[in-house]
């Protein structure tokens, strides 16, 4: 992709204090340095809330909101709650919305919850009321029924804007369901797919053509680019869009325009 094309990275994990999340230290400044050759407009900074630790959740959310302020909006804060914290989670959603959060991150594996739990629907419903998109880690090696649970969740809360990170991982063939659902007039197409990590994994693999075909079933206008930094490399990840066969206009939509529309930028 030409350097002049603007990009929005929908999926990053910058280190917000002295302890690295993954491997070596990876402060926000290191990410921006790696992106110097890109025309980076924004990067979504993600956090994940612990369970039964509301002070810790608030502190973590305040840190990512602080990064959003100190970076002048270069980093955008996706805060987090734990769905099993019940009413306290809903209260925290309202609090961070008032402080400028741009979205919510939930991680069924790391946070140890089932997508079909009614508590998850309550969190997604409140986020929808607050106009906050919800980004889920959307690959579980432990729950083969999880893709269908996301469909049920989108049907239960049709006004919610749901982002499925990592394109369902090894279960990406199940993305075809979104192409089928789009044929029904009642389906509102409020589900987006983030290709973070998987674009790099599949772009130069024997499954490259199949992966790209299944992504197109979702619709190019519902695809989002993310690097999954520091686990993924933003430059290599962005190059993977071309390797997967997306043309210049499609890459512009995936790497910038779709995210800008989703977040109202």
Token digits for 238? 């962005």
Identify the pLDDT of residue 4. Answer: 63
Q: Tell me the per-residue pLDDT of 100-120, one tens digit each, with 9 for 90 and over.
A: 999 999 999 999 999 999 999
User: Which domains are present in the chain?
Assistant: 6-263 (3.20.20.140)
pLDDT over 90 at 20, yes or no: no
Measure the CA–CA gap between 171 and 174, rounded to whole angstroms.
Answer: 6
């280190």: which residue's tokens? 15
As a whole number of angstroms, the distance between CA 78 and CA 100 comes to: 10
C-alpha to C-alpha distance for 253 and 147, rounded to whole angstroms:
24
Q: Which residue has the tokens 């919850």?
A: 113
CA-CA distance, 48 to 201, in Å (whole number)? 24
Q: DSSP 3-state assignment of 11?
A: strand
- Tokens representing 224? 């989002």
pLDDT tens string 165-182? 999 999 999 999 999 999
The pTM assigned to this predicted structure is 0.95
In DSSP terms, which residues pair with 22 in a beta bridge?
A: none
Binning pLDDT at 50, 70 and 90, where does residue 23 land? confident
The answer to whether 161 and 189 have CB atoms below 8 angstroms apart is no
């Amino acid at each position: 992709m030409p350097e002049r094309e603007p990009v929005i990275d929908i999926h990053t994990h910058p280190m917000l204090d002295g302890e690295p999340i993954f491997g070596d230290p990876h402060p926000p400044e290191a990410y921006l340095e790696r992106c110097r050759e890109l025309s980076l407009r924004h990067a979504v900074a993600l956090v994940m809330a612990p369970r039964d630790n509301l002070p810790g959740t608030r502190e973590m959310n305040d840190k990512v909101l602080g990064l959003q302020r100190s970076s002048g909006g270069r980093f955008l804060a996706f805060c987090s709650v734990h769905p099993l914290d019940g009413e306290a989670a809903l209260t925290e959603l309202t609090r961070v919305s008032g402080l400028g959060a741009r979205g919510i991150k939930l991680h069924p594996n790391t946070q140890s919850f089932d997508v079909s739990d009614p508590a998850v629907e309550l969190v997604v419903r409140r986020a929808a009321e607050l106009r906050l998109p919800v980004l889920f880690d959307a690959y579980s090696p432990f729950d083969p029924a999880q893709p269908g649970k996301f469909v049920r969740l989108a049907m239960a809360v049709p006004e919610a804007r749901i982002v499925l990170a990592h394109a369902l991982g090894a279960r990406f063939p199940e993305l075809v369901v979104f192409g089928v659902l789009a044929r029904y007039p009642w389906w509102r197409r409020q589900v987006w797919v983030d290709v973070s990590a998987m674009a790099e994994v599949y772009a130069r693999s024997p499954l490259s053509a199949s992966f790209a075909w299944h992504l197109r079933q979702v619709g190019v206008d519902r695809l989002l680019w993310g690097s999954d930094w520091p686990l993924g490399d933003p430059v290599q990840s962005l190059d993977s869009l071309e390797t997967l066969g997306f043309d210049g206009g499609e890459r512009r939509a995936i790497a910038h325009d779709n995210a800008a529309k989703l977040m109202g930028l």
